[in-house]
Structure 1
Amino acid sequence: MSYYTSLTGLKNAQTELNVISHNIANAETNGFKKSDTQFADIVSSSVVTDPALTVGIGSRVAEIKQNFSVGALEQTGNSLDLAIGGEGFFTIVSPNSGQTEFTRNGSFSVDGSGYIKNAEGSRLQVFPMTNGVVDASSHQDALAAPTNAAGSTLASVTVDQEGQVVASYDDGTNTTVGVVALANFVAPNGLKQTGDSSWKVTGKSGAASYGAPGSGAFGAINSGTLERSNVDIAEELVDLISAQRYFQANAKAIDTATQISQTVINLRN
């Protein structure tokens, strides 16, 4: 039994090492959220088992929990580098699959068609505005037309703290594209990681609730700023040493069990 008990410890240590390695590998990934491994013990007993004599049979991975604390903010000077100063996720939609995802990585740019997109080509979503009133009941692609009605060329796109996206043209006119659509969740730890610092909704996370930046619990938008990874390298290195010792201790327990078994076999011989 001791072999299998220690084997569960080895497997858990390997999982923890994988999680820590993933955190360290993404220490420079914008908007990345680190994960922590949580374990639970395994106990096998029945209604007739004396609780005073119950022996555990190992451990298991209970949860790989994401930490959504806000990372450090870094100024870049690029007007379409956006960071959320508090709660919320940017809403993005892939033009190919049409799937909606959510991210804290606010590195955006304008493509040749005027769409505001991230590095993977997913388009930033905004709330439309009607007569200066934000319609938060639906969201759409953020599109800054390359030319306006007068034929003037797009000069720049800016975003203020309230998330209002404004396209400026070389004839001096401005057009409001919309207001950045932020989303939040009852249980963000239930979101499914999809890579590229993005997440999808699951049954555990609950449906997304939308709102404008600076309203309710949603944070304001910091333009010209990016949110860095929330990975603390010093903390991860300490956890790495602890996981290594955990692995070595379980391996030693297996080695000890092997020696005891060998001793018993030699006595019988």
Structure 2
Amino acid sequence: MSFQQALSGLNAASRSLDVIGHNIANAGTTGMKSSRAEFAEIYASSAGAIGGTNVGLGVGVADVSQQFSQGSLSITGNDLDVAINGGGFFQVKAPDGSTAYTRAGNFEQDKQGNIITNSGAQVMGYATDANGVRQSYDAIPLKLPTGAPIPAKQTTKMAAEITLDASAVVASTATPPTPIRTYGTSLTAYDAQGLEVPVGLYFQKAANNSWNVYTSVNGSDPAASTPFQLNFNADGSLNTTTSTVPAITLSSPNDPTRTFTASLDLGNMTQVNARFAVSDLTQDGYTAGQLTGIKIEDTGVITATYSNGQTQAAGQVALVSFRNAQGLAPSGSGYWVETASSGQPVRGAPGEGTFGQLRSGALEESNVDLTAELVNMMSTQRAYQANAQTIKTQDQVMSTLINLR
């Protein structure tokens, strides 16, 4: 009798409807990957069965496979929302200490500054230096620098890119003599406490292709400083052989006796027939600064922006991949866990090898195709009805046999 076959068909169709219902229910779940019920026919294992005379026993659900195709990216504008555009999974550490993996990048920050998921799992990443260079592939919980401000940095290097006027009159031959402050500029350096130290640079033409440079620190009179000389080649470039640029001695505004030196790079200076112009002034010091913003780069590097205009890296988001992603076991809350079938995770970084890049301010939507799921639902419903009809027909056959007289 075919009751068993029809019953197995009903069970398989019911299981398929469960899978379809789960997909439809999670059509709006961030990072969700749809599943598909896969069926296999069932035959009795009988030594006496011969070829086509072995009637099957029905159908069974062989597997519920996951579809890891890319979902669409939805722009959110939230700095801590991150979408993976390509392969890979985020690695997280659940509150119970276990390791899990997810495609959902709707992260947030807890009161300690840790980057966490909606369910409280810590997002894992790699330690970097302030410039974003990865230190190792050892995964650690990512934490934002929301506590104390970054300390001040004392200036050690200064540089200026300036164009001097080749047609300027030699200062000593002008009537009256050209004042020292005629051609000058200033920049702001910083002492160890982050206090501003104004530094002035003043240029006075001493001879053709030769200029004296006077300095001023904390508003001092540049005429009181000892000048140094810059010499220029015939093409207007700086003659680095005959020009000697000394380090500048700076002093703290709080205590003039506390002095420190900073090198001065004038290698990009030129002398041409053009008006005096300052193209660029740089120095490497800064005052203390509070955190004002966070940005996650395409490479996964987390960049922190501070009120003093500085930016520093605060780690790099880690990605992992598996040789057999289908072997991952879903554990709820958008997480998967490693199994023997999936193999061990391979760690990497966004944009490297087969790993996708990150898109900050965006989330990966569910890859559920609602149209396809609704069509599958109708097909599965018809299959369920057909199996129920098989039971009804078989019941009528049995009833006819029993009622024979």
Shorter-chain TM range is: over 0.9
- Aligned residue number for residue 120 of structure 2: 121
Deviates more, 1:104-113 or 1:23-32: 104-113
Counterpart code for 1:128: A
Preserved contact between residue 132 and residue 313 of structure 2 (Cα < 8 Å):
no
- Aligned residue number for residue 86 of structure 2: 86
Compute the TM-score of the two structures, normalised by the length of structure 1: 0.95
Distance 1:50 1:90, change over 3 A: same
Matches of 1:135 and 1:59, distance apart in 2: 54
Q: Give 1:196 deviation, angstroms.
A: 1.5
Q: Give 1:101 deviation, angstroms.
A: 0.9
- Aligned residue number for residue 326 of structure 2: 189
- Aligned residue number for residue 385 of structure 2: 248
Counterpart code for 1:69: S
Matches of 2:123 and 2:304, distance apart in 1: 15
Preserved contact between residue 9 and residue 58 of structure 1 (Cα < 8 Å):
yes
Pair 1:232 & 2:369 matched = yes
Preserved contact between residue 91 and residue 102 of structure 2 (Cα < 8 Å):
yes
Counterpart code for 1:255: K
Structure with larger Rg? 2
Preserved contact between residue 113 and residue 145 of structure 1 (Cα < 8 Å):
no
Preserved contact between residue 76 and residue 224 of structure 1 (Cα < 8 Å):
yes
Pair 1:72 & 2:102 matched = no
Give structure 1 regions of 4+ aligned residues with deviation exceeding 3 angstroms: 130-133, 149-153
Preserved contact between residue 45 and residue 54 of structure 1 (Cα < 8 Å):
no
Task: Please state whether the residue corresponding to 1:36 is helix, strand or coil.
Answer: strand
Deviates more, 1:16-25 or 1:113-122: 113-122
- Aligned residue number for residue 170 of structure 1: 307
Q: Give 1:171 deviation, angstroms.
A: 3.0
Q: Give 1:152 deviation, angstroms.
A: 4.3
Compute the TM-score of the two structures, normalised by the length of structure 2: 0.64
Matches of 2:62 and 2:350, distance apart in 1: 35
Counterpart code for 1:63: D
Alignment of 1:85-164 (within 5 A): 85-94=85-94, 96-130=95-129, 132-147=132-147, 148-150=149-151, 152-164=289-301
Provide the aligned length of Structure 1 versus Structure 2.
267
Preserved contact between residue 300 and residue 349 of structure 2 (Cα < 8 Å):
yes
Matches of 1:24 and 1:145, distance apart in 2: 40
- Listed as ranges, the gaps of 5+ residues in structure 1 are none
Matches of 1:154 and 1:185, distance apart in 2: 36
Matches of 1:154 and 1:257, distance apart in 2: 75
Distance 1:136 1:34, change over 3 A: farther
Deviates more, 1:186-195 or 1:162-171: 162-171
Matches of 1:43 and 1:75, distance apart in 2: 51
Matches of 1:14 and 1:4, distance apart in 2: 15
- Listed as ranges, the gaps of 5+ residues in structure 2 are 152-287
Deviates more, 1:3-12 or 1:139-148: 139-148
Preserved contact between residue 38 and residue 65 of structure 2 (Cα < 8 Å):
yes
Q: Give 1:132 deviation, angstroms.
A: 5.0
Matches of 1:116 and 1:168, distance apart in 2: 17
Pair 1:12 & 2:12 matched = yes
Pair 1:41 & 2:69 matched = no
Deviates more, 1:134-143 or 1:175-184: 134-143
RMSD across aligned C-alpha pairs, in angstroms? 1.4
Task: Please state whether the residue corresponding to 1:48 is helix, strand or coil.
Answer: coil
Deviates more, 1:165-174 or 1:55-64: 165-174
- Aligned residue number for residue 217 of structure 1: 354
Matches of 1:204 and 1:38, distance apart in 2: 18
Deviates more, 1:196-205 or 1:23-32: 196-205
Percent identity (aligned): 40
Per-residue CA deviation, residues 34-68 of structure 1 (Å, 9 max, x unaligned), is 00000000011433321131111111000000000
Distance 1:7 1:212, change over 3 A: same
Q: Give 1:135 deviation, angstroms.
A: 3.7
Preserved contact between residue 136 and residue 212 of structure 1 (Cα < 8 Å):
no
Counterpart code for 1:54: N
Q: Give 1:143 deviation, angstroms.
A: 0.6
Counterpart code for 2:67: N
More helix by share: 1
Q: Give 1:175 deviation, angstroms.
A: 2.6
Deviates more, 1:145-154 or 1:22-31: 145-154
Matches of 1:171 and 1:117, distance apart in 2: 27
Matches of 2:385 and 2:136, distance apart in 1: 54
Q: Give 1:145 deviation, angstroms.
A: 2.0
Matches of 1:218 and 1:135, distance apart in 2: 19
Preserved contact between residue 211 and residue 218 of structure 1 (Cα < 8 Å):
yes
Preserved contact between residue 132 and residue 315 of structure 2 (Cα < 8 Å):
no
